[in-house]
């Protein structure tokens, strides 16, 4: 077995990385590296993921793996692996482990004794090694090497078993972490693993299918009913890149799009998102009453009172503008994920959707979509109502040991999709013109084939043939 060892290296060179979320102001500001007060996903050696907000002059704890200073990570690139190498929380980039070439072997683990007796190091000696590692006096690779050398049965293991043993020790002793940029993919996987109920068990493959079925693209005007804590709204916003309009309908007076704060969205993207509560979605209800103060009244206000007045005035203008966007209609797509019956929401919002535009409804339970599907099939406003479920299977990819994982999620939810159509009255004046056009094309084709032009209508020729026929021929 050819083994590649990782040696820590210090580097001061920086590289330009294209941001995963590309909006115009993002490119202008140029933040390819980690910035202060940004949200970051920290991938730890154990496989767990921790969400942190990097504030200057603070320390970030990773439990048993140690603590590092946030200032040391600010300004560094995303995606690199860093190692904590002293008690002061200093970090340095490390090389990733490459795939090693595994040699074929006939060895097996039948004669190996899998108990504590095979490890010659005592519990006290192992704890002392851990303390030395936490103090930074000993590298984690040195600790693992000592564990391997003191294992009396290690040489009898197969190459696969040796690799698994070393990997387990790495997860236990290595103080290496990887900061990952919060994107739609990483955030969805993070919540689906940690708290799937928060996002209604919406899996990443189902979410990608939803965006494709809804035809989300830049400069779209999309209507969204989202009860996945803002995951669908964030997905639409990332796909549109800050160009277009997103209107979200929600329960209560204020929305609960909590996931938006994880995404590091710029103001350019956030300005495309507008919200309206269901309680204010009735066109018959007037806008919130607002009276502007006179110049004399404004002069009497204190600084705090003036700021409060301007803040309330801005909020009233935003609410009125959001309601106008809804009532103007003309939306290019409708996405629904609601605890209400889907067909009731669909019936109310159909009038705001343009013709030939897609509708996509998500639910973790198929039964909730059946009644909506039946309603869409009976309705004259929709075509092609269809319920689908995507399948996702994860694979372990290791040298000579690539196979599907044994434990996977059973389902990522169901999608009901359909096409909005405008039911208009049929114009009978269009039918004769279309019929004559087809008859003329048929006559031209026959003329071209025979080389003779027949100007008599087909109906006249048939009448002449009928008049010349004998009674017997006619009856037959």
Angle at 26 between CA 198 and CA 318, to 5 degrees: 65
pLDDT digits (tens, 9 = 90+) for 265-280: 999 999 999 999 999 9
pLDDT digits (tens, 9 = 90+) for 74-86: 988 888 888 887 7
Average pLDDT of the segment spanning 276-293: 83
Average pLDDT of the segment spanning 437-444: 61
Q: Are 1 and 103 in contact (CB under 8 A)?
A: yes
Residue 5: pLDDT band (50, 70, 90) is: very low
pLDDT digits (tens, 9 = 90+) for 310-328: 888 888 888 999 999 999 9
Rounded Cα distance between 317 and 331, Å, is 21
Average pLDDT of the segment spanning 445-473: 53
Q: Which of 269-283, 351-365, 392-406 has the lowest mean pLDDT?
A: 392-406
pLDDT of residue 211: 97
Strands 333-337 vs 357-363: parallel, antiparallel or unpaired = parallel
DSSP 8-state class, residue 388: E
pLDDT of residue 140: 66
Residue 355: pLDDT band (50, 70, 90) is: very high
pLDDT of residue 26: 43
pTM of the model: 0.73
Residue that wins the pLDDT comparison between 161 and 419:
419
Rounded Cα distance between 373 and 367, Å, is 10
* Res. 387: pLDDT tops 90: yes
In the chain, what's the furthest Cα-to-Cα distance? 119
pLDDT of residue 16: 30
Length of the chain (residues): 476
Rounded Cα distance between 91 and 175, Å, is 10
């Amino acid at each position: 077995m050819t083994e590649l060892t990782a040696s820590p290296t210090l580097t001061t060179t920086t590289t330009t990385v294209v941001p995963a979320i590309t909006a115009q102001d993002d490119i202008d500001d140029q933040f390819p590296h980690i910035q202060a007060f940004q949200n970051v996903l920290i991938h730890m050696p154990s496989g767990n993921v921790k969400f942190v907000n990097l504030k200057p002059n603070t320390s970030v704890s990773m439990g048993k793996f140690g603590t590092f200073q946030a200032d040391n990570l600010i300004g560094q690139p995303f995606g690199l692996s860093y190692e904590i190498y002293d008690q002061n929380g200093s970090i340095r980039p490390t090389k990733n482990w490459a795939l090693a070439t595994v040699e074929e072997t006939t060895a097996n683990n039948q004669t190996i004794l899998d108990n504590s007796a095979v490890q010659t190091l005592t519990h006290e000696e192992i704890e002392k090694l851990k303390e030395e590692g936490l103090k930074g006096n000993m590298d984690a690779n040195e600790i693992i090497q000592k564990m391997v050398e003191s294992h009396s049965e290690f040489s009898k293991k197969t190459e696969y078993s040796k690799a698994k043993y070393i990997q387990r020790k790495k997860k236990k002793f290595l103080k290496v972490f990887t900061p990952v940029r919060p994107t739609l993919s990483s955030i969805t996987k993070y919540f689906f693993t940690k708290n799937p109920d928060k996002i209604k068990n919406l899996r990443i493959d189902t979410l990608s299918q939803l965006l494709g079925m809804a035809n989300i693209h830049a400069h779209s005007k999309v209507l969204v009913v989202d009860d996945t804590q803002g995951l669908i709204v964030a997905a639409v916003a990332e796909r549109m890149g800050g160009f277009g309009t997103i209107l979200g309908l929600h329960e209560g007076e204020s929305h609960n799009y909590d996931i938006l704060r994880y995404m590091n969205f710029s103001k350019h993207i956030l300005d495309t998102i507008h919200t309206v509560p269901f309680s204010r979605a009735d066109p018959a209800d007037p806008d919130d009453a607002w009276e502007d103060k006179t110049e004399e009244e404004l002069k009497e206000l204190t600084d705090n009172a003036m700021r409060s007045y301007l803040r309330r005035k801005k909020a009233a203008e935003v609410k009125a503008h959001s309601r106008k966007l809804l009532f103007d209609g003309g939306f290019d797509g409708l996405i629904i994920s609601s605890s209400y019956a889907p067909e009731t929401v669909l019936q109310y919002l159909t009038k705001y959707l343009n013709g030939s535009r897609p509708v996509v409804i998500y639910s973790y339970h198929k039964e909730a979509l059946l009644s909506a599907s039946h309603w869409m099939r009976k309705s004259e406003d929709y075509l092609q109502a269809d319920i689908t479920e995507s399948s996702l299977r994860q694979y372990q990819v290791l040298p000579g040991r690539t196979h599907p994982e044994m434990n996977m999620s059973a389902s990522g939810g169901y999608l009901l999709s359909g096409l909005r159509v405008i039911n208009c009255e049929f114009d009978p004046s269009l039918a004769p013109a279309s019929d004559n056009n087809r008859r003329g094309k048929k006559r031209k084709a026959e003329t071209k084939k025979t080389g003779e032009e027949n100007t008599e209508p087909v109906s006249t020729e048939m009448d002449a043939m009928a008049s010349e026929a004998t009674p017997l021929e006619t009856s037959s």
